[in-house]
Structure 1
Amino acid sequence: MRLWSVRHSRGMERLYSLAKPLTLGLLRCTSKLFGTRLDRPITAIERHAKSFFFDCKMCGNCVLSSTGMSCPMNCPKTIRNGPCGGVRENGMCEVKPDMRCVWHAAWDGASRMRDGAAAIREVQFAVDQRDKGTSSWLKLARND
């Protein structure tokens, strides 16, 4: 399913841009009403949805909209800013030769997106390991 999401990144981008304001608004209201009591179920929903579509690793700092709907945390080296020097000529990973390079897929997905070419060039900061397993949706809603 992960590669399907990359091949359909333009549609996923549209869905994301439509759903984002509604989702963030709903999460802000939920946070105001319930505080952090619903964080675990919300995180579980995010984990299941993003795992299915993107093979998400729940790093707590989601950049799917900047990486052509290809999760960079699927890279065996967890490289967040482009491919390593070991990408094979056929676009396969040097560490897992039977796996397509995450960044090869990311560039492919970004080329289909409206703002993908510019977004994929933005430098991403290293993942804060303390955020691993947390919800990036809640983080965005709370402007953390």
Structure 2
Amino acid sequence: MTRLLRAAMLSLALAASTAPAFAVLPDEVLDDPALEERARDLSVLLRCMVCQNQSIDDSDAELARDLRVLVRERLVAGDTDDEVIAYIVSRYGEFVLLRPRFNYRNALLWGAPLLLLVAGGIAIAIRARKPAQSRAAPLDAVEQKKLDDILKS
């Protein structure tokens, strides 16, 4: 019985994680299925400025709704996908993109993990090449005699 319960719970968890978000309201959906598909594809690429970790397609925030409507308006007006994205970025900045573009302004951000990995490797290599240095001072004659006496007994 517990196996069946575990299997049911796992199935529910997987279904919940792969289920589509229902943030898009029925009044936002376009009549043309091709345009609606393009709108959904674009909405997944744009960040909700309120939630910041969700796309506007997944977010229930009012600003996300406004952005979804704006995307659909631009598509109905005849803009291409690139023109819609460029329009949104021109109004809200690069931060609105869930996958930022690679450019000179964010090159350090993209390259930082590689730079840290190389720097860590160099530091480990330098540390490994140096001989281990004893931090203790050498024993004086009295301490050495005491140690010898302890080891003999």
Tell me the TM-score normalised to structure 2 length: 0.25
Tell me the TM-score normalised to structure 1 length: 0.26
Q: Of the two structures, which has the highest relative contact order with CA contacts closer than 8 Å and spacing of 6 or more? A: 1
Larger radius of gyration: 2
Task: Give the helix-richer structure, 1 or 2.
Answer: 2
